[in-house]
Chain A
Amino acid sequence: MSQIAFPTPDPAILARADAIRTALRALLPRECVVTDEAGRRAFETDALTAYRRLPLAVILPRTTEEVATALRFCREQGVNIVPRGAGTSLAGGAVPQEDAIVIGLSKMNRVLEINYADRYARVEAGVTNLAISEAVGEKGFFYAPDPSSQLACTIGGNIAMNSGGAHCLKYGVTSNNLMGVRLVMFDGDILDLGGPALDADGLDFLGLVCGGEGQLGIVTEAYVRILPLAEGARPVLFGFDSAEDASRCVAAVIGAGIVPVAMEYMDRLAIEITENFAHAGYPLDVEAMLIIESEGSAPEIEAEQKRILDIARAHNVRVVKESMSAMESAQIWKGRKSAFGATGRIADYICMDGTVPTGQLPEALRRVAKICADEGLRVANVFHAGDGNMHPLILYNMNDPAEQEKAERAGARVLEMSVELGGCLTGEHGVGVEKRDLMSKQYTPQELAQQKSVRAVFDPDGRFNPAKVFPLTGRAA
């Protein structure tokens, strides 16, 4: 069985579907409830488009109170809930089911408060990642985690998946930049965790909710840290004739006590695909390219880049291309951030997200190449090298079931390899449905049971985002 299994929808719920939809329309304002089939169709999948399930209904609340009302209703009716931000999950974190109600936070998209003196922003969960940086940019601040989908993805989704991005090497991932959330619990109770102070008290429930994949409750508001923008930043492209040299260069830079704000890796195929799309000025005749960005004042950037250049030379760098202007820098990043989209224009792909210890990168790249070659598939590698978070894009044709099976098998083998090499299944995309059945490769049954029992404290009925993250058991999810 290659296809990811979904539990059989609860026939009792399906039998009451019309009654549930009617009750919902009576309960919440008209513009907050989507019950017609065409409207629901828009929510049948996320960025893991190979899997589609038409939800029972969709609720688009405008306030925390409406979320609470919706959750109390779902509890009374015994209906499962699938929280949704912008639906950009690559892991199927927002893929619904026929017997579940989607609660989409897209209407809760306001920045509620910006406090520069205390360096935080309080935002609603449906605000996009980039909108936070845009709101505080004029005062010289930004919100640090920058997933490639930052134009579309919401902070609520970022919190659910503890999203990262290219610049986490210096600034950390979502959990390191999140100070508090307002969480609506399974019974409709509203709970504030953390807040405008840097550190929350008691057990670190905030740390659990972040990366909890929407299984602990629904986040409706968040306090996020905003940070001062650096005086300047400049990326440099380094082209190498071998993946080995490029990845050893990464380790050597860090080993030398330098933590550049970003170190991104692209292989020949990824460079070719993105360059054709974004015209970022990437070198086309190299096997591997690193984008290494330095931050600070002009002399600080200069000094750091000189140190990096010396290291790159010692690792046989062949092409060095400095950005000469802010526009060139923007082009370089536009290329990197459009890598997934550009790949999607030439083929269907599945994007893996395993992380390996950076010392294992050369071995991991060799094994990824072999795994994909064994299946007769092409793979483009583009990833965050500084933290070992790999993103092999395995190309296939979605309309060819045999090929999809091969792609998913190769993907699973790549993730198993990540665990074998001392890493993990997912660095920043989350487990979702996609990697659910691989969890037992990383965790023992006791470890999974421990996690599930913590989850059950928050969601005793197991209604939030069911059949995700944890392998399906005999028990109906």
Chain B
Amino acid sequence: MNNTLSPADEREAAEIVRAAQAPFDIVGGATRPGLGRPRQGDPLSSAKLTGIVFHEPAEMTLRARAGTPLAEVEASLAKAGQMLPFEPLDPRALFASSGEPTVGGLVATAIPGPRRVSAGAVRDNVLGVRLVNGRGEIVSAGGRVMKNVTGLDLVKLMCGAQGTLGLITEATFKLLPAPPAEATVVIRRLDDARAVEAMARALSSPHGVSGAATIHAGMGREFPRTLLRVEGFPESVTYRAERLIALLADFGAKHALEGEDSKRIWRSIRDGAFLAEPRERAVWRASLKPSDAPAALAALGETARAALMDHGGGCLWFSTDPTPAAATAVRAALGRLNGHVHLIRAPEDLRAHADVFPPLSQALARLTRGVKASFDPEGRFNPGRMYAEI
């Protein structure tokens, strides 16, 4: 049985929503099937809302319809020597999915990659979105220019809302020139505390570090590796990598990976690929104060395995047993720290019963319900995807 609705354009999408009697489950490339609380509703697909609307290299902007495969966007960017600044995760390794990640899914889920530390998150690089709200109205928010404070910033709200506020039909991105060269300084065998210290020193340097991650032992190597990336024009990359090695000599910084070797390891970090196997494990991603990372990992103890620190320690990826007990232990361990944790991958029954997103305080729950109702008063879009009952 396939009752998927696939509007041919934005107008038709709005008509479908206006005529709807039941909730929708918004579907893009179906590459993140396990993200969020369990799906319910009739599939509403962006599959026909495709195409790049414009790509203006000299303005560093690109607009594409929601169903456009990310690969198509990246091909256009590659021709102009440009990139999406926030290094979007390719979810296919983690979710063992096939198909093509789409522009809409990327914005709705908004998981930033390693370049978060220098180029910002997804929400920092989306200049505009168009959406159909729950009343079936077409709403344009933001625009195509870098600076825009004209009215409330509904664009930010749509980033990471998991499709609960509306059907995104189009998004406009800020771009950056793709760096012609990159290098990654590698430091081996630092414990968590020393690794965070080394990453903090690198990120506090003027050398433009665009990635700072530490991979625990047992993920590709038998010892932990701390990695610090610099990108740019070749002569500048060489100079800055040398300066970083000198700056971190007391941590044992000696050499740098270059070119494809550097690219490959950051792709794996970006995609959470080190945590992809074993398939049955639950995968979590925490955002916290970087200097809290060692304490967080200590508090998680044996509950967490295969951990990786990104964003200088400000982002933790780890896996646990796919059980309610483990989920409770994770929230208990991290609850006292500055930050929050998001269950990225887990079997459906765990996602139905454990908090996938951090539980809301009473005040935040009031605002979340209110904003949801202001976009989607009948609860048409992705009901319960982030929070039960919202």
Contact = CB atoms under 8 A, between A and B. Distances in A.
B146 interface: yes
Given A117-B290, A204-B156, A196 B236 contact: no
A389 to B, nearest CB: 5
Contacts of B236: 296-297, 299-300, 303
Interface residues of B, number: 82
A212 interface: yes
A450 B139 contact: yes
A341 interface: no
Contacts of A205: 157, 364, 367, 371
B180 to A, nearest CB: 8
A359 to B, nearest CB: 5
A17 interface: no
B206 interface: yes
Interface stretch (B66-74, B184-192, B197-205, B255-263): B197-205
A1 interface: no
A425 B386 CA distance: 34
Interface residues of A, number: 90
Contacts of A304: 233
B228 to A, nearest CB: 14
Given A176-B124, A357-B59, A450 B206 contact: no
Interface in A182-203: 185, 189, 191, 195-203
A453 interface: yes
Contacts of B56: 357, 359
A455 to B, nearest CB: 6
Identify whether the interface residues of A are mostly helix, strand, loop, or mixed. Answer: loop
Contacts of B311: 198
B205 to A, nearest CB: 6
A295 B367 CA distance: 42
Contacts of A358: 58-59
A146 interface: no
Contact of A164 (B147, B208, B235): B147
A202 B368 contact: yes
A244 to B, nearest CB: 15
A26 B61 CA distance: 55
Interface hub of B61, B149, B386 (most chain A Cβ within 10 A): B149
Contacts, number: 252
Contacts of A426: 148-150
Interface string A146-174: 00000000000000011010001100110
B276 interface: no
Given A197-B340, A450-B137, 9 more contacts: A117-B291, A162-B149, A199-B314, A199-B315, A257-B177, A299-B236, A299-B239, A358-B59, A443-B151
A351 to B, nearest CB: 14
B379 interface: no
B139 A384 contact: no
A173 B203 CA distance: 20
Contacts of B88: none
A43 B82 CA distance: 48
B235 A198 contact: no
B338 A173 contact: no
B360 interface: yes
B358 A203 contact: no
B151 A451 contact: yes
B153 A118 contact: no
A11 interface: no
A175 B120 CA distance: 10
A447 B312 CA distance: 39
Nearest to A300: B236
Interface of B: 56-61, 81-82, 112, 116-117, 120-121, 123-124, 133, 137-141, 143-157, 159-161, 165, 176-178, 180, 197, 200, 203-206, 208, 233, 235-236, 239-240, 243, 287-291, 311, 314-315, 338-340, 342, 357-358, 360, 363-364, 367-368, 370-371, 373-375, 386
Contact of B160 (A198, A204, A389): A204
Contacts of A303: 233, 235-236
A119 B200 CA distance: 8
A31 to B, nearest CB: 31
A229 B205 CA distance: 8
A85 to B, nearest CB: 15
A175 B371 contact: no
23 contacts: A197-B339, A198-B117, A198-B121, A199-B121, A201-B357, A203-B371, A203-B386, A204-B157, A206-B156, A254-B58, A254-B60, A296-B206, A299-B239, A300-B235, A359-B56, A359-B58, A359-B59, A422-B144, A426-B149, A427-B146, A428-B147, A428-B149, A446-B137
A222 interface: no
Contacts of A228: 203-206
A118 B146 contact: no
A6 interface: no
Contacts of B368: 202-203
A277 interface: no
A140 B145 contact: no
A399 B190 CA distance: 70
Task: List 3 A-B pairs, minimum CB-CB distance, nearest first.
Answer: A207-B156, A457-B370, A257-B177
Contacts of A439: 150-151
Given A387-B147, A430-B149, A196 B371 contact: no
A289 B386 CA distance: 51
Nearest to B135: A446
Nearest to A252: B58
A199 B156 CA distance: 12
Nearest to B137: A446
Contacts of B367: 203, 205, 457-458
Nearest to A257: B177
Nearest to B152: A451
Given A202-B364, A203-B371, A195 B338 contact: yes
A141 interface: yes
A435 to B, nearest CB: 8
Contacts of A455: 152
B132 to A, nearest CB: 11
Contact of A208 (B157, B239, B288): B157
Contact of B363 (A162, A185, A197, A201): A185
Contacts of B203: 119, 228
Nearest to A141: B204
A123 interface: no
Given A118-B290, A450-B137, A258 B61 contact: no
Contact of A198 (B137, B314, B374): B314
Nearest to A229: B206
Given A117-B200, A197-B339, A453-B374, A427 B145 contact: yes
Interface in A428-451: 428-431, 435, 439, 442-444, 446-448, 450-451
Nearest to A358: B59
B206 A355 contact: no
Contacts of B314: 118, 197-199
Contacts of A450: 133, 137, 139, 154, 374-375
A285 interface: no
Contact of A469 (B112, B151, B370): B151
A47 B338 CA distance: 39
A355 B153 contact: no
A447 B139 contact: yes
A455 B340 CA distance: 26
B188 to A, nearest CB: 22
Given A202-B386, A355-B148, A450-B133, A230 B206 contact: yes
A358 B240 CA distance: 31
Nearest to B146: A387
Nearest to B209: A228
